[in-house]
Structure formats: structure tokens, C-alpha cells
Chains A and B, each alone.
Chain A
């Protein structure tokens, strides 16, 4: 190397070192703090510290993530057919998607919420609402499967849902699109004063079963979001509403005319007492209630009729309105239950109400107005404070359990941290882009975990490699353990994650089911050993009870099926070990595959249309001999006499 070369090398080494030095100086973290990469790195084979459950929005599902890594662990089908597992396609799960409108293959899931005991997340179930065909689902956090879906009659746009009270006594559903109640044929422009916004209260039994207890038949404003009181305000529920104008067209202008809309404050304990004493009136309302049984591995859909409707005026001291500026959206209650935070989405300020002041105002009958007979409390006399000029377009607030609140601002695309009580702004961080909800694990309970915050953004733009016009939404993870929020990472989320719920992993991971006990399988067509495998004909219905184990079906040769038959393929997975599902599919089936968990039985229908010998196979790679896990069904002509015959290895 000549002298010039050495000289150049020296210079570049110097520049390189200087660059490194500059980078260190620019970093926010001190010398001792770990790097951002280390904070989100979960080493291969290790587990995340938190589960994050992200609403799948218009996918109708719920996705499970590990935090802080942002790795997606599972997509749980809830309101939509899911060919990956056969949910909504298998005979056992089709009833889950039944509604009073018939079978609906899709839903718009919104707000997940984890069950609570004494205001703390207990990890038994997670609930999620469906906006389009109003429903609430309950998902087991042992099996991570949807176990129950209840429809809400007389309602439309179930957005203010699914939020649970602090001992999981009730879960609520709202009406975001005011509708005639009961539904009837009438001119749309006569909506004002005629439409209603029923709020549904669904009780949760100890075993998780949901029951529609009553509906508060509220004036026809758009009930948008809700949160239960907790701790000292336990027993109350708060709902934001917009369109107090009761406009029916060009809503983006006409529903934004009033300076203030309302938060509805509902003393649900009083209403429950009223109903218990015979209050309310049973009105018409048809709704499906679908329950999945883990023993029969089958869902049953029951169509129910009638619901107790309550006129809010009739329950003394139970329902009030609190004015709130500029078309509110989010409505959140802090861990102590002292403060109710209302976000006027067209405002720059947050209004924070005092629960104590609200009670005093009610006691003193400090009413400024009434809306269809419901007393309206004074804004000034219920207000605890405002977080002034915090940003543009406040939406939702979560808490860290250390006296701080975190609010998202959609228009200015940021999260603002502020102090409860002093309303002072402590920090603000950009989000990428246009954040909707945010989620702090446990952040809407009495005891938030307060370590991480996830911003759930609506717009992705340039954050990832482009994938054509349609992009997955983007989430950002922040470390909130220090004074300032620190952006750690981006990760894509599936569908539109309206809201999310998070929980420390150790609360649920040990309970997670590994397989279903074969001995407890009560499916009527289960073949619990190969000796129980059968093929039976009943008219043109053929029932095949087949077993699956690594790596063969029994029987794997079947004859005597005819064109025009309706063949029920009941598949039982005989495995009794963790993570050994088998799949099943057959050529020409007008349905999806099914993925059968160990110990489980699932059924699909196959209607053979042509004579021939048709193969079926296992769709989920199960062992070194997975490719050999296959069989044949012989299909004879409709009028043939081929006898029923089923064998494995010619036996």
C-alpha cells in the first residue's frame, strides 16, 4: 500500500470513529440504558413478557401478539369464516355465525376487553364486539377459541362495546346508528325524536355464559364509546354520544353543529335493582345466542325472543347526561375511578370530569337542561379540569398506574402524556401515522402494568416495504417506564386494530390448553379409536366417522358412496400430545379444509358430483410420513349397487 493509500485509510477510519461518536451523542438514552433493539429483542426460543390482543377490525377476528417483540402468535377467528381452521365452515362451528338475519359469514370486530376480578385483569376470557350485525363474543383464554356469541336486537352499530365491569358482572353494547325501535317502515327524514339508541346490558355468569338482561331505550343519539366506572365509581357506566343534532344525512357536517354533545352516565346498579323488582317492559326483539361446547366440540345456536326494555326516565336517579364539547369519541375512566376523561374529537382540549362532583351535582339537582326527559348536568360543575391545547383531535386515553394518562391525538398524530390532577402535559411523541386507539397492558383496569404502550395507527404510508395499494396497519411500541415515552419499534397489525388489550403473559400462559382429552370427547360422531371408525348410510346421507393419527386415516379406502349423496366426514384426531393437529380436505368439496386439534372431532360436508375414485389427504404437515397421509373414496353412479365398504390395510 502506498503512502496516499495509508493516508486515505487513516482519514476514513477517523471519519468513521467520529460518526460513531456523534451517534452516541445524539441518542436520548444514557450510557447505561440498554439500546432500543435490546428492549424489543426476544431471543430465539424465549417468550414475550406480554400478550397483546389486537382487534382485527374488518377481518372480523382477533390477533394475538407477543410484546415487546411484536411477533404475531395467532389469529383467532371470531365473527368471520376462517378457512385456515375451518371455523364457520365446519358443521360444528357454522352455528357460531348464525344471527337473526341468518348465517352471516363476516363481522367487523372492534374493542377487545379482558375479564376482571376486583378491577384487575384475571385472564379468564377476552370479549370483543361486532359493529355491523350487533354482537358480542366471548373467547376462552385457555383454548384461545371463540366460545360464545350473543346478538343484540333492536340495535345498530354496536360500537360502544365490549367493556366489562370490574368483577365481570356486565358487559355493555351500544347503538352507534340510531334506529327506529321497534324497527318499522317510516320516512328517514322523520328520524328526529323517533329513532332510539338502546344500550344493552349483558350479564356474565361464573362459567362465562352471557345473558341479555335489559336494554335502556335511550334517545336516538349515536352512542359511540363507553367505559365502566371502577374502584370508587364502580356501579356506573359512561357512554359518549354524538349527533345530538339527530341528523340523518351529510352527517360529517350536520352532526357537528352543536357546540356540545353528551356523555351518558348510567348508574347500572340502580337499573339492575329496578329490573329485579319487576321494572321494565318485555318488548319484541329476536336474537341469536350461539354457544360452543368444548366437550361435544360443537356449537348450538338458539334463537331467542324478547328483551326487557327500560325507559330511562322511569328509573329515578339512574341516567344523566353530562355536556361535552365537540363530538366526543373516547370515554375513559382512570384506575382510581375518580376521573372520567372525555375526548371531543374536533377539539384541542380534553375534558376531565370528577366523579365526586358529578354525584354532588346529582344530589343538588344541579341540572341545566333535560333531553327527552333525561336531566342534563352542568358542564362547569362536573368538570375536574381540562388538559388544554394538548393536540388536535383527541380520541382515547389509557393509564400507567403511576398517576399519568396517555391520550392519542388523531389529527396531530401523536400520543400525549399528562398528569392526572394537575392536567399538566409531561411529554408528547409522534406516531406514524394518525393514531386511533392506544393500549397499555392493563391500562383500562385498576392496576395497569405500565411498562409498554402500543399506538394503533390508522395510516401506514411509508413505514414498511410497499405492498401495492393495500397496506396492513401499523402499530408502534413505546417504552413508558421512564419519564419520557421512548419509541422502540414498528410492527404491522392485521385488519384494523380499533383497540387492543394486553396482559402479563404469566397470568395466562400456564393455563393454556395443550390438547383435548379424547376420553372427554362427547361428539356424537366421534370415533375415539380405530375400532370405532364407521361408515353408515341413511337415505342419501352418508356419515363417515374417520380417525387421524400420525400418519394415516382409518378407514383410508371407502366404497359405496354415490353421486348425489351428502357425505358427512366426521374427523377425530386420536393424538394426545401438544401441537399435533391434522388437517383434512377432499377434492371437489365446496367448503374449506378443517384443522382438527388432538382429541377433537370436526365435520365437513362433501357432495360428490362425479363418479370416480377421489383422494383425500392431511393438510397439516404432521410427520416424516405426512405425504403418505392420504386415502380414497370410490364414488359410484347414483343408481349403482356398490356396497358400503371401508378398510385400512384391507382390514
Chain B
């Protein structure tokens, strides 16, 4: 019994000590950010990857040499109705701006992101990184038809 008591005392002491140890550590106060470790990784939105076609129904798209203006106009209509709650051309909003998107992404990737966002954010590394960069805000599936998504893509060429 005496031995057990001694052991218990030792145990409690150790426990207290380990707790105390944590307290002594210099914690940054609220609002102050810990200095970022300089392993600079370009944000996913800035990354350029023109070979990645993403995951989804679209495997190959031929963009015409010149922009199809009628299709782009239709695309703008669809975009204004279905996408502007989260995407704005002139700024980063809930999601990234589509401006210049085709300089960073393949047309197939863009269409798959529109048509198949649930699978994209699970299986495509770039889409996964974007989800984290944009605070875990999901890309909503707005159930566009393939034709509507293609028109939105054409509109993006005009931005």
C-alpha cells in the first residue's frame, strides 16, 4: 500500500510537470500569427497546369480559333444566372475569378469542374488544393447541361 501511494504521488507529479511544461512554451497571443515557415508554395489558383484535363465527362474540347460570339453571349447569360453568386470576373470572391482561366487550365478541366465538381474536389489534386485555398467553400453543382457549360467556357474566353 505504501509503495502504491508513492507511485501515485510520482505519477501525479509527473503529470503536473508535463502540464506545466506546456504553459512555459511561448504561445503567440490571439490575433498574432505565428511566423510563416518559408516553404513558399504557389497558391493553387496561380498554378499553371494546361495538361491536366481533370476528372469527368469531358475528355476533349476543340476551341475554335476565333471566339464564337453567339455562344459566348449565351454563356454569359448562363454564367450571370448560375455562377455569379460565387464568381466575379474582377475579383477573387467566394471562388476564383474566371478571368484568364484558359491561360492556367485546360478547357476540359474547366468544364469538368463545372459539370462534375463533387468528384473533382475528391480526385483531382488541383481541385482539392483550390478547395482548401478557398476555405473549404464547395464548388456547387448547378446542374448545367454540357452545352451550357461549353457556352460558359466560350464566355470565359472573352474575359
A interface residues (Cβ-Cβ under 8 A, vs B): 515, 518-519, 528-531, 547, 549-552, 554, 574-577, 580, 623-625, 649
Within 8 Å of chain A (Cβ to Cβ): is B52?
no
User: Which 7 pairs of residues, A with B, have the shortest CB-CB distance?
Assistant: A624-B136, A549-B85, A576-B142, A577-B141, A576-B143, A530-B85, A529-B81
Within 8 Å of chain A (Cβ to Cβ): is B93?
yes
Q: What is the distance, in angstroms, from A434's C-beta to the closest C-beta of chain B? A: 49
A515 to B143, CA, bound (A): 10
With A529-B81, A530-B84, A549-B86 in contact, is A649–B93 under 8 Å at CB?
Answer: yes
User: Is B80 a contact of A529 with CB atoms below 8 Å?
Assistant: yes
Which chain B positions have C-beta within 8 A of A649?
93
Which chain A positions have C-beta within 8 A of B137?
550-551, 623-625
Residue of B nearest to A574 (CB): B85
Which chain B positions have C-beta within 8 A of A551?
137
Within 8 Å of chain A (Cβ to Cβ): is B140?
yes
Given B81, B93, B140, B143, which contacts A550 in the complex, CB threshold below 8 Å?
A: B140
Number of interface residues of B (CB under 8 A): 16
User: Is A577 a contact of B136 with CB atoms below 8 Å?
Assistant: no
* 11 further A-B pairs in the complex, CB-CB below 8 A; given A554-B85, A624-B135, A624-B136: A528-B81, A529-B81, A529-B84, A529-B85, A531-B80, A547-B85, A549-B86, A552-B94, A574-B82, A576-B141, A625-B135
Compute the total of residue contacts between A and B using a CB distance below 8 Å.
50
Which chain A positions have C-beta within 8 A of B82?
518, 529, 574, 576
User: Is A531 a contact of B84 with CB atoms below 8 Å?
Assistant: yes
Within 8 Å of chain A (Cβ to Cβ): is B57?
no
Which chain B positions have C-beta within 8 A of A577?
140-143
A623 to B95, CA, bound (A): 14
A369 to B142, CA, bound (A): 69
Within 8 Å of chain A (Cβ to Cβ): is B138?
yes
Chain A binding surface SS class: loop
User: Is A550 a contact of B84 with CB atoms below 8 Å?
Assistant: no
Q: What is the distance, in angstroms, from B122's C-beta to the closest C-beta of chain A? A: 14
Contact with A along B75-93 (1 / 0, CB 8 A): 0000011101110000001
Which chain B positions have C-beta within 8 A of A528?
81
Which chain B positions have C-beta within 8 A of A554?
85
Given A518, A550, A552, A576, which contacts B138 in the complex, CB threshold below 8 Å?
A: A550
A551 to B139, CA, bound (A): 11
A-B contact pairs, 11 of them (CB 8 A): A515-B143, A529-B85, A550-B140, A552-B85, A575-B142, A576-B143, A580-B140, A623-B136, A623-B138, A624-B136, A624-B138
User: Is A549 a contact of B140 with CB atoms below 8 Å?
Assistant: yes
With A531-B80, A577-B141 in contact, is A625–B93 under 8 Å at CB?
Answer: no
A528 to B78, CA, bound (A): 12
Q: What is the distance, in angstroms, from A533's C-beta to the closest C-beta of chain B? A: 10
Residue of A nearest to B82 (CB): A576
Which chain B positions have C-beta within 8 A of A625?
135-137
Which chain A positions have C-beta within 8 A of B140?
549-550, 575-577, 580
Residue of B nearest to A625 (CB): B137
Which chain B positions have C-beta within 8 A of A552?
85, 94
Which chain A positions have C-beta within 8 A of B143?
515, 576-577
Which chain A positions have C-beta within 8 A of B93?
649
Residue of A nearest to B81 (CB): A529
Residue of B nearest to A554 (CB): B85
Q: What is the distance, in angstroms, from A553's C-beta to the closest C-beta of chain B? A: 10
A530 to B82, CA, bound (A): 10
A518 to B85, CA, bound (A): 14
A552 to B85, CA, bound (A): 9
A518 to B148, CA, bound (A): 15
Which chain B positions have C-beta within 8 A of A624?
135-138
A552 to B87, CA, bound (A): 13
Residue of B nearest to A515 (CB): B143
8 A Cβ contacts from B89-108 to A: 93-94
A551 to B141, CA, bound (A): 13
Q: What is the distance, in angstroms, from B83's C-beta to the closest C-beta of chain A? A: 9
Contact with A along B17-49 (1 / 0, CB 8 A): 000000000000000000000000000000000
Residue of B nearest to A580 (CB): B140
Q: What is the distance, in angstroms, from B114's C-beta to the closest C-beta of chain A? A: 12
A554 to B93, CA, bound (A): 13
Which chain A positions have C-beta within 8 A of B138?
550, 623-624
Q: Which of B81, B84, B85, B142 has the most CB of A within 10 A?
A: B85
Which chain A positions have C-beta within 8 A of B85?
529-530, 547, 549, 552, 554, 574
A337 to B154, CA, bound (A): 63
